[in-house]
Amino acid sequence: MLVVSAHAGDFVWRAGGAIASHVLAGGAAHVVCLSFGERGESASQWLEGKLLEEIKSIRRAEAQAAADALGAGIEFLDQGDYPLRESEAAIAALVEVMRRTQPDVVLTHPLSDPYNGDHPAAARMALEARVQAQAIGVPFADGRVPTKDEIIGAPPVFFFEPHQPEVSGFKPEVLLDITPGWERKRAAMESLPAQRHMWSYYTDLAIRRGVQLRRNAGPNLGLPVEVKAEAFMRYYPQVTDVLD
Domains of the chain: which residue ranges? Answer: 2-233
pLDDT per residue, tens digit, the chain (244 aa), is 999 999 999 999 999 999 999 999 999 999 999 999 999 999 999 999 999 999 999 999 999 999 999 999 999 999 999 999 999 999 999 999 999 999 999 999 999 999 999 999 999 999 999 999 999 999 999 999 999 999 999 999 999 999 999 999 999 999 999 999 999 999 999 999 988 889 999 999 999 999 999 889 876 567 777 899 999 999 999 999 988 7
What's the CA gap between 156 and 11, in Å, rounded?
A: 17
Rounded to whole angstroms, the Cα distance separating 56 from 58 reads 5
| Start-to-end C-alpha separation, the chain | 23
Q: What is the pTM of this model?
A: 0.96
Rounded (10°) CA dihedral 57, 38, 120, 137: -40
What was the pLDDT predicted at 220? Answer: 56
Q: Which residues contact 136 (CB under 8 A, 6 or more apart)?
A: 145, 146, 148, 151
Q: Architecture of 2-233 per CATH?
A: 3-Layer(aba) Sandwich (3.40)
